[in-house]
Structure 1
Amino acid sequence: MRALVYGDVDLNIIDGSAIWAQGVVQALRVAGVEVTLVLKAPVKTGRLVDPLERLSGVTVRRRPEDATTSLTVEEAAGLLTELDAEEPYDLVVARGKRLAVRLTATPLAGRLWTYLTDVPQTVAELDGKTRGELAAVAKASRFLLCQTEELRCHLEGVLHKAAGKCVLFPPVVALPEGLEPTEDKTPGRPLKLVYTGKFAPRWNTYEMTGLPRRLAARRIDAELHMIGDKIHNDKKDPGFSRRMRVALDSTPGLTWHGGHPRAEAMRVSAGCDVGLSWRHPELDASLELSTKVLEMGALGLPVVLNRTPMHENLLGADYPLFAATEDDVVDVLAEVTDPEVYALARRRCLDAAKAFSLDAAAERLRTYLRQAFPPPLREGSGRRTRVVVAGHDLKFFTRLLDHFGSIPDVEVRVDRWPALGSHDPEVSAELAEWADVIICEWCGPNAVWYTEWRRKHGRPDQRLIVRLHRFELYGAWPGRLDIDLIDQVVCVSPSYAELTRKMTGWPAEKITVIPNWVDVAQFDRAKLPGARYHLGMIGIAPWRKRLDLAVDTLEELRRHDPRFTLFVKSKLPWDLPWIWNRSEEREAYEGLFRRIRRSPLLARSVVFDPAGPDVAAWLRRVGFVLSTSDDESFHLAPAEGMASGAVPALLPWPGADTIYDRSWIHESPSAMARDIAAIVAEGRWDDERARGHAELARSYALDLVAERWVELLRPSAAAAAARTPTTYPAQAPSA
């Protein structure tokens, strides 16, 4: 693998963005990738660049010797395109929104691993132009690398094209050799405080210079060590730069170390007792995580910082060194001289930093590389397998399309039908003639058309695969198919495979089971506070989804504990004319909504959220995912809930026990409510959700399901499918 890396950053200045460039190069190299790093600015100091040039497998492309200016966005895009044209790269890691937007119009599109931080961090700031630009970036990117979970959820919520492409790539902390923290450390006398990074008003660096004096007034001897040489010229505060420099040069108890290579800066920090990352409240809403906080934690330094949801998630709500004001900072620094307080804060920071090590970053990248670059379909074959996927609604097939398209010897084209029975026959015929394998997603008019085309024009070496969902089985289309012209019919569950055999009379060897997929890595996210009291339901229309039974469950729970809430993510029935125009459906929903509105137990406890692809972010608030339907072929919602770390709770719709372990299935809403209440009250929620997550990962994980589909693409697919049992090993032995 070869990677081209460019960040719209200046590696002469030690700040978070420059450290990012160093970290991503190091992590890619540890992951086994050869890296070319292109520099934006002429090298004035080799503090960050020199260590990278000494790494085997890393090439640093410096600016020409006579260059005096940094690359513009336009120049950077041109240079990256030229380098790729000389010898194409497998992936291109780019940081910076303006650069990423420019690269969407180059041959690098599709191979971009875009790292976004400089994006609007509130919905109010996201105008139409920016939304369009980010949508183009998402479309052109294989992955969107997000520094924090908060940024990932924000992007998915405001930009639906980002859903499924956003992956975590947090800051990388690589300790220089010999700086591993000791097991035990106590606060020194004097107490040594340290700050590293840029000097700017919102970073409270000028206010920090007063800490030795204020601590002395509390009879605490303290020193302040400040490392860095970038002093901002702030337009809103023209005098800041001068005040900051005077304070650095002349404040008693303050040692200004100036700029240093990263390793040396960390050595100076390691000799101190407490790190400072206290900032102005305006930065509390930031979706970025300070690399310096993590570096200090890795060195064994507890850090003073603002209390924010992100920091609470990182260090715990009871972390003792949160501070909002300068008085707070002085108070917590006085408390940290207590060895017990110091030991607690130090341990929290050390433990938090472990997830950001160089090895952890490299393992993340290996996972993304395996996903982006699966092995070829046929080793040693020079010919590509041509695959057409045809259908009107590909929402259940999107990630499989991505996977097929990533296989080096597979070429994928899509015959996208505008509606269930609407398409361009000339386009479909052209694609059918081109294809080696045709996959009809849904067994509807598309399957009928392609079987008829195959009867008249098909080749002996061509294969036709049809995936059948619930609703087609009760339509007329399966009866119009000639099963002899179809190589495989794929059903998503054993019960529907059996029902398909009974209703159609098709041979058993023509029917195979490949379950729906869940991208476990996308859904596996930290739960928000209070999630154990939150029920979730995804999709409530048509009526057979039985929202009323979920409401029964909620009502029973709230009789004993008013903390329980039901969250619903769905289109509402009046948004779907085919449902709302049916009087029996409309009357049923109207009656249910009246019941919710008029009930003291329910009126403020059912929350409706809009449908959308940001399900993984939405599930962070949900502790139990309900499936109360009359009938399902698979029902993906409980599986997605399990991947998210929620506990599934199902009613016994036909076939549920062939897909999910029987221990998750309850006989009635009352029984479901009793079990949910017991899991929470007895402190078993974490154990139960871990069990559900493990079950899901071994049965329905995207990589496992994708491999089953890849087997169908191979020439020997028909024989292999015939040997595959139709009972999918989904569940663990029942408890």
Structure 2
Amino acid sequence: MSRTLRALVYGDVDLNIIDGSAVWAQSTVQALAGAGCETRLVLKAPVRTGRLIDPLSGLPGVTVVRPHEDGLLSGPGDRPLSPVQAAQALVRLDEETPCDLLVLRGRRLVTHVVADGHFDGRIWAYLTDIPQSPAEMTEEAGEELERIARAARRLLCQTEELRCFLEAWVPEACGRCVLSPPAVPEPGFPVPEGDRPHDPFRLVYTGKFAPRWNTLPMTRLPSLLAERGIRAELHTVGDKIHEDRSRPEFRPAMARALDGGAPGVEHHGGQPREEAMRIAAGCDLGLGWRDPVLDASLELSTKVLEFGALGLPVVLNRTPVHEALLGADYPLYVPGRAGLDDAVDTVALAVREPGARRLAADRCRRAAARYTLGQATQRWRTQLEQAFPQAPAAVTARPRPLRVGVAGHDLKFLTRLLDHFRALPGLDVRVDAWPALARHDPAESRELAAWADVVIVEWCGPAAVWYSRHKRPGSRLVIRLHRFELDAPWPHDVDIDAVDTVVCVSPYYARRTREVTGWPREKVTVVPNWVDTDQLDRTKAPGARFRLGMIGIAPSRKRLDLGLDVLEALRARDRRWHLRVKSKPPWEYWWIWNKPDERAHYDSVLRRMQTSPLLEGAVVFDGFGADVASWLRRVGHVLSTSDDESFHLAPAEGMASCAVPSLLPWPGADEIYDARWIHRHPEAMAEAIAGLGEEDWLSAGRLARTQARENFSLERVARDWTELLVAR
């Protein structure tokens, strides 16, 4: 980053009480400071203890804002801020010293902040308290999350599972979601080495005490283990006991158990994070066992990672998130329905089988190593560099901002480039969005043409013709031509003398453009389509290796029938192979479905899927949508079987996801993609795919990902486009 960014951080959490959400606030400030931000942490509640706040006071660039003590509130100052009060305080702080990013935690809070639009485009919202299953995603909740997504610069998701769920249900979230898992600090003390359990065997729990966290049943573990001849004690750390209206007896019962009412329980009360970790390090087994109602949660427990950083094995429920973290064969999952007896069985196993305990400790240790505070700092640094890119010297040296106009009827291929341009210091960006291919507001277009230093026209259609005839002297005009325009009259109607650059997405179509139009060679250049390689780079789901993928099957020249040829050849060898298709159905495109030959093609393809024994149940159609990144997690090979393409984004996106691309030799494919991915015919394609064993497939996917990053990454393409803007 060329300048120091200013961050405001506020969580709807009380930092006097140590739990996962309070620890998040501390870790986020530490990571932002480490990434070079001037960071103001705004507190929700009056300070009663400095356990979490004091470690931040010595960090360079960090300021702790205490609204109660600093006079930011009117009225009584002894109660925690409501979301409304917090939103007002944040606006006031921003008006005094504007922030570049506002990092928030808490759905109700974010909803209030979004309501007045003051921070639109600057919000980085950390979302956990949202619906995490289809049954919970009501229409009202979906609309609320859509509003948040539209206003946010980034949505911070704790796990991949949560990110994919959010993208599937909130299309506006796609492209904005980034991973922001819990961060665990390195222990500031020597961690005991080896596996020498204490006698009595020491169990440990740290965090909040709540019914669904099974903290009351946990206090019975020492007594129940004693009945099995196992001497054990439970060490607990924390001072937050939940009030549960549905279980009013819980709070007093929990307090009694911690205050000597449960044999074998030693309660250490609330402690600074470092001291809590020190106490845990002196124990033998961590407890992360919860009520099964939480098994569907898409969140990751901070305490599991903290225990892992200390070399402690952890007893916990078998859930998809835990299996992704520790493996399906992790030995200390609580079996059955995860009741109290099941938990006792698992703890007894850990005590009596050192091998299982050591394997679990190793898994937890290796998992925690991926979630250090240092790695969180690097994640923030990378995300901030992407969100706040540096402008080239040719822009920053200008006496006023470079005025960039963007015009066209369909800007879907420019979305992230537009975000990049808007984020560049020294650029002023306006858009003339034509409502249809040949329909626009001439007055609005004239205003843009007169204002802009550079105009980019997407598609060489009527907009390109209009702007070539209304170009302001001294301005630059850049037109991007895709493919279909070459078969239309518009390129011949463009005043090429007024055009500075025509951008094509592949060398083949650059040559075709020059051949068809006769335009000068020096005016036609190649910039590939962009691929958001960071968003697409996600861990593959189990079974992905045996799934083919096709994105977009209309019109018929996309050749779904050839994709079926590949699938049939593979399933003749192994019935594990399937094909997933992400596309609108052809009948949703009226200009396609009105053509008899197109209807005949799809009628034949659909009948084939119904009648072929090899295809029965092997083709899955997924809904069209922006959630391509999460969809590609389930795909191991992306097919491109088209008769003709200008670029074909699908294999490039697949490559970025570590899927192996497989292409037929459509004209120009070998000038965009490595020849190793191109096959002469469907049979050769199937042969190459079937020949990849597990390790070969993984290796090929990694190579494909590297090639996608080098050739098509958003960063590289944005840099090329920025150079076009300032070219002389």
TM-score, normalised relative to structure 1? 0.95
For 1:64 and 1:243, locate their aligned partners in 2 and report how far apart those are by CA, in whole Å. Answer: 33
For 2:117 and 2:612, locate their aligned partners in 1 and report how far apart those are by CA, in whole Å. Answer: 58
Q: Give the C-alpha shift of residue 567 in structure 1.
A: 0.3
Residues 87-102 of structure 1: pairs in structure 2 closer than 5 A = 87-102=97-112
Residues 126-205 of structure 1: pairs in structure 2 closer than 5 A = 126-179=137-190, 181=191, 184-205=194-215
For 2:720 and 2:343, locate their aligned partners in 1 and report how far apart those are by CA, in whole Å. Answer: 57
Q: Give the C-alpha shift of residue 603 in structure 1.
A: 2.0
> For residue 335 of structure 1, what is the aligned residue in structure 2?
349
Write the deviation string for residues 320-371 of structure 1: whole angstroms up to 9, x where unpaired: 1111333332222222232322221111111111121111001111111111
> For residue 321 of structure 2, what is the aligned residue in structure 1?
310
Write the deviation string for residues 2-56 of structure 1: whole angstroms up to 9, x where unpaired: 1111111111111111011001000001111111001011111111111112222
Write the deviation string for residues 235-270 of structure 1: whole angstroms up to 9, x where unpaired: 121211122222222222111111111111111011
Pair 1:546 & 2:559 matched: yes
Pair 1:74 & 2:103 matched: no
For 2:377 and 2:688, locate their aligned partners in 1 and report how far apart those are by CA, in whole Å. Answer: 41
Quick one: which of 696, 702, 709 aligns to 2:708? 696
Quick one: which of 508, 518, 533 aligns to 1:505? 518
For structure 2, the residue ranges without an aligned partner over 5 or more in a row are 70-75
Pair 1:27 & 2:31 matched: yes
Partner SS state of residue 9, structure 1:
coil
Runs of 4+ in 1 over 6 A off after TM superposition: none
> For residue 606 of structure 1, what is the aligned residue in structure 2?
619
For 1:488 and 1:187, locate their aligned partners in 2 and report how far apart those are by CA, in whole Å. Answer: 72
Residues 669-708 of structure 1: pairs in structure 2 closer than 5 A = 669-680=682-693, 683-708=695-720
Partner SS state of residue 584, structure 1:
helix
After superposing the two structures, state which structure 1 stretch, 95-104 or 632-641, moved more.
95-104
> For residue 439 of structure 2, what is the aligned residue in structure 1?
422
Partner SS state of residue 123, structure 1:
coil
> For residue 44 of structure 2, what is the aligned residue in structure 1?
40
Partner SS state of residue 145, structure 1:
strand
C-alpha distance 657-182 of structure 1, shift in aligned 2 (>3 A): farther
Contact kept in structure 2, 1:120 and 1:126, CA below 8 Å: yes
> For residue 57 of structure 1, what is the aligned residue in structure 2?
61
Pairs aligned (count): 710
Contact kept in structure 1, 2:287 and 2:316, CA below 8 Å: yes
Write the deviation string for residues 122-166 of structure 1: whole angstroms up to 9, x where unpaired: 233233333222222111111111111111111111111110000
For 1:624 and 1:137, locate their aligned partners in 2 and report how far apart those are by CA, in whole Å. Answer: 34
> For residue 731 of structure 1, what is the aligned residue in structure 2?
none
Q: Give the C-alpha shift of residue 79 in structure 1.
A: 1.0
For 1:287 and 1:436, locate their aligned partners in 2 and report how far apart those are by CA, in whole Å. Answer: 48
Contact kept in structure 2, 1:187 and 1:342, CA below 8 Å: no
For 2:197 and 2:650, locate their aligned partners in 1 and report how far apart those are by CA, in whole Å. Answer: 50
Aligned partner letter, 2:705: H
> For residue 560 of structure 1, what is the aligned residue in structure 2?
573
For 1:506 and 1:380, locate their aligned partners in 2 and report how far apart those are by CA, in whole Å. Answer: 33
For 1:252 and 1:74, locate their aligned partners in 2 and report how far apart those are by CA, in whole Å. Answer: 45
Pair 1:282 & 2:293 matched: yes
For 2:564 and 2:318, locate their aligned partners in 1 and report how far apart those are by CA, in whole Å. Answer: 37
> For residue 546 of structure 2, what is the aligned residue in structure 1?
533
For structure 1, the residue ranges without an aligned partner over 5 or more in a row are 719-735
Quick one: which of 14, 19, 23 aligns to 1:10? 14
> For residue 355 of structure 1, what is the aligned residue in structure 2?
370
For 1:234 and 1:176, locate their aligned partners in 2 and report how far apart those are by CA, in whole Å. Answer: 34
For 1:327 and 1:646, locate their aligned partners in 2 and report how far apart those are by CA, in whole Å. Answer: 44
Aligned partner letter, 1:403: H
For 2:11 and 2:581, locate their aligned partners in 1 and report how far apart those are by CA, in whole Å. Answer: 41
Write the deviation string for residues 252-302 of structure 1: whole angstroms up to 9, x where unpaired: 211111111111111101111111011011101111111111111111111
Q: Give the C-alpha shift of residue 118 in structure 1.
A: 1.5
Contact kept in structure 2, 1:187 and 1:336, CA below 8 Å: no
For 1:214 and 1:701, locate their aligned partners in 2 and report how far apart those are by CA, in whole Å. Answer: 57
Write the deviation string for residues 549-596 of structure 1: whole angstroms up to 9, x where unpaired: 001100111111111110000000111111111000001101110110
For 1:364 and 1:343, locate their aligned partners in 2 and report how far apart those are by CA, in whole Å. Answer: 31
Q: Give the C-alpha shift of residue 182 in structure 1.
A: 5.1
Contact kept in structure 1, 2:638 and 2:661, CA below 8 Å: yes
Q: Give the C-alpha shift of residue 432 in structure 1.
A: 1.2
For 1:610 and 1:56, locate their aligned partners in 2 and report how far apart those are by CA, in whole Å. Answer: 49
Quick one: which of 388, 398, 406 aligns to 2:415? 398
Pair 1:493 & 2:506 matched: yes
Partner SS state of residue 645, structure 2:
coil
Pair 1:451 & 2:468 matched: yes
> For residue 517 of structure 1, what is the aligned residue in structure 2?
530
> For residue 468 of structure 1, what is the aligned residue in structure 2?
481
Write the deviation string for residues 471-499 of structure 1: whole angstroms up to 9, x where unpaired: 11221111111211100000111111111
For 1:389 and 1:381, locate their aligned partners in 2 and report how far apart those are by CA, in whole Å. Answer: 20
Quick one: which of 237, 242, 248 aligns to 1:238? 248
Between the aligned residues of both structures, percent identity stands at 59
> For residue 72 of structure 2, what is the aligned residue in structure 1?
none
Q: Give the C-alpha shift of residue 219 in structure 1.
A: 2.2
For 1:636 and 1:46, locate their aligned partners in 2 and report how far apart those are by CA, in whole Å. Answer: 53
After superposing the two structures, state which structure 1 stretch, 109-118 or 95-104, moved more.
95-104
> For residue 119 of structure 1, what is the aligned residue in structure 2?
130
Write the deviation string for residues 210-241 of structure 1: whole angstroms up to 9, x where unpaired: 21122222322211111111112211212111
Contact kept in structure 1, 2:187 and 2:310, CA below 8 Å: no
Write the deviation string for residues 146-197 of structure 1: whole angstroms up to 9, x where unpaired: 1111111111111111100001111111134124x45533433322110011
Aligned partner letter, 1:688: A
Aligned partner letter, 1:580: W
Aligned partner letter, 1:264: E
Aligned partner letter, 1:578: W
Pair 1:435 & 2:470 matched: no
Pair 1:484 & 2:497 matched: yes
For 1:509 and 1:572, locate their aligned partners in 2 and report how far apart those are by CA, in whole Å. Answer: 41
Quick one: which of 360, 378, 387 aligns to 1:345? 360
For 1:98 and 1:412, locate their aligned partners in 2 and report how far apart those are by CA, in whole Å. Answer: 33
Write the deviation string for residues 368-418 of structure 1: whole angstroms up to 9, x where unpaired: 111111112423434101111111111111000000000011011111111
For 1:311 and 1:418, locate their aligned partners in 2 and report how far apart those are by CA, in whole Å. Answer: 48
For 2:40 and 2:326, locate their aligned partners in 1 and report how far apart those are by CA, in whole Å. Answer: 36
For 2:104 and 2:397, locate their aligned partners in 1 and report how far apart those are by CA, in whole Å. Answer: 33
CA RMSD of aligned residues (A): 1.3
For 2:226 and 2:397, locate their aligned partners in 1 and report how far apart those are by CA, in whole Å. Answer: 74
Aligned partner letter, 2:457: C
For 1:233 and 1:607, locate their aligned partners in 2 and report how far apart those are by CA, in whole Å. Answer: 47
C-alpha distance 658-187 of structure 1, shift in aligned 2 (>3 A): farther
For 2:68 and 2:468, locate their aligned partners in 1 and report how far apart those are by CA, in whole Å. Answer: 61
Pair 1:413 & 2:413 matched: no
Contact kept in structure 2, 1:568 and 1:607, CA below 8 Å: yes
C-alpha distance 376-13 of structure 1, shift in aligned 2 (>3 A): same
Partner SS state of residue 268, structure 2:
strand
> For residue 571 of structure 1, what is the aligned residue in structure 2?
584
> For residue 644 of structure 2, what is the aligned residue in structure 1?
631
Aligned partner letter, 1:124: A
Aligned partner letter, 1:537: M
Q: Give the C-alpha shift of residue 205 in structure 1.
A: 0.8
Aligned partner letter, 1:395: K
Pair 1:84 & 2:94 matched: yes
Quick one: which of 107, 110, 113 aligns to 1:103? 113
Partner SS state of residue 304, structure 1:
strand
After superposing the two structures, state which structure 1 stretch, 294-303 or 98-107, moved more.
98-107
Q: Give the C-alpha shift of residue 420 in structure 1.
A: 1.1
Contact kept in structure 2, 1:187 and 1:339, CA below 8 Å: no
